[in-house]
Structure 1
């Protein structure tokens, strides 16, 4: 994992590189201006310079900023995109991990980058719908153009049938009528798991205490070891434990039932709980990146998403590919913003 210091070094190197690009662009623009003044006039030369800039893209490496650590689902998928894109993109795509502050450091670094299409960022719904309610950020949804969805994630409620009597969601509800439930979550106050699970337990009238872990893997291990009554996790992270019989997915926050290799998992909505959450990851750029460059990035993603090497990888890893276009991704986030407003209000 990179430190803030290492991220700053990367940013300084990138700024130095971008200054070089800016100088080259100025020289090229000057040449075009002279040509235009000699020929058809300054206004036409300016238009020609803008077109040339888009036509020449990409003429250097493109960076994907991942706001989360190395090895997580979003990081792994973005590195596979980088690998497969070599067959369709004229320049390498490099993944950098800018971690910290619940992902907002990476988002703000993306905002600080030039609007030239050489920086993409991985994002998710809560970075817009939830985190800004608890952390001061210098961006909002209008500052980004969503390129493409990447995957959707279903958040599961997990128990260990070997360590407790809780084998179904009904068991969990009944247990909560006479006991204070402890549950493992990888996010604290302000995080998506914390907020939706707190809203669920409050809706059910159950007293519950979150045990905040450092990662999803730690949350799953806390369930397996019997440290907690239940925990939260996403497919396929817990599958190996379910294969062993030490994990059971008893319900999902996804708005409809989810099919897994171990059977169908019902939504908590089936129990009358009006709380839902569908996680997702997507790729975005600054909203002032020229449309011609946005189109080129989307064309590259079209090719990658259609490549059997990529789709086969997603199937093998158990990640459902979410090939949503930009407007659909934006609408998804806007809808989630409304839901999160409701859940946060419930917890006051």
Structure 2
């Protein structure tokens, strides 16, 4: 009789445990569904892998500002800098896949950086939400210091001189790779002078420290207005219109090297589609907002309103082209 009572007690305990476990699972499932349905119910962080004041940073902060009109929670931009942007990417990968962390990223962080730096992420780890802007990389000279007024002048100078050029990225960076591929194609010997920022790279051109340098609009416009900078060519696949005239693509000189920089927003690939849809709905509103559009136009940042699939395809295509450029300069 005693054994039967013990067995009955054990059975009751098992049944209670099973019931509690099932109830717990049901509650968890309910909370998960509710959190997706109620999203956002707290601040959303955007990790920017680059420093304060750069193009990607200031545009993201403007998105955050304008989004207050269309999003129920604040969007907070944090700068996680270092290791060519890979620290910010790693931090984004380590964040919960709940839609409360976005990251600003670009093509080279997937297409180029992993060829030179060990990274713990790849393209499949992220879902691209939206494009932000396109970036045209320019070849800049200061004719007052170097006497180089055109791209033809630069080619002629390189036939008898070793060219020194400034860049804000070293080996593994987009500027370094495409410039090296260009000079290799032209048969010109060139030496990079790596600076810590784009501003320093441009200042090196202005001061005459280098023969030419690399920069992006509108970072050099104030110097061009003062007559200390001229954009002689661009790596963009087509001519670029600027306030100071048309800048022709280096393809016009039969240099088959092109680069279009892009910035975009992404989340962890495991983020639920319902949350991705809500984030994109917010970006729809921001990108149609007159205040945001006026800001982009005033700053000279071409808005790249590409959807996630377009962004992913662009990066995959850039992976292929960067492979070819790296092989060219390493051969």
- TM-score normalised by L of structure 1: 0.87
User: How far off is 1:47 after superposition?
Assistant: 6.2
Aligned counterpart, 1:347? 329
Aligned counterpart, 1:205? 187
Matched, 1:286 2:231: no
Change (3 A) 1:289 1:165: same
Separation in 2 of the partners of 1:126 and 1:254? 15
User: How far off is 1:49 after superposition?
Assistant: 4.6
Matched, 1:220 2:207: no
Unpaired runs of 5+ residues, structure 1, are 1-29, 37-41
Query: What SS class does the counterpart of residue 128 from structure 1 fall into?
Result: helix
Change (3 A) 1:61 1:178: same
Separation in 2 of the partners of 1:52 and 1:230? 57
Aligned counterpart, 2:39? 57
Aligned counterpart, 2:250? 268
Separation in 2 of the partners of 1:140 and 1:109? 13
Aligned counterpart, 2:161? 179
Aligned counterpart, 2:10? none
Q: Map residues 119-268 of structure 1 onto 2, 5 A cutoff.
A: 119-268=101-250
Query: What SS class does the counterpart of residue 312 from structure 2 fall into?
Result: helix
Larger Rg: 2
Unpaired runs of 5+ residues, structure 2, are 1-18
- TM-score normalised by L of structure 2: 0.91
Query: What CA RMSD, in Å, does the superposition of the two structures yield over aligned residues?
Result: 1.6
Deviations along 1:161-194, whole A, 9 cap, x unmatched? 1112210000000110000000000001111000
Aligned counterpart, 2:16? none
Deviations along 1:14-69, whole A, 9 cap, x unmatched? xxxxxxxxxxxxxxxx99x7499xxxxx5xx7765543221110011000000000
Change (3 A) 1:35 1:144: closer
Aligned counterpart, 2:8? none
Count of residue pairs brought into register by the alignment = 311
Separation in 2 of the partners of 1:142 and 1:123? 14
Aligned counterpart, 2:4? none
Separation in 1 of the partners of 2:105 and 2:208? 33
Aligned counterpart, 1:323? 305
Separation in 2 of the partners of 1:56 and 1:259? 45
Aligned counterpart, 1:15? none
Query: What SS class does the counterpart of residue 177 from structure 1 fall into?
Result: helix
Deviations along 1:245-299, whole A, 9 cap, x unmatched? 1100000000000010111100001100010000010000000000000000000
Query: What SS class does the counterpart of residue 77 from structure 1 fall into?
Result: helix
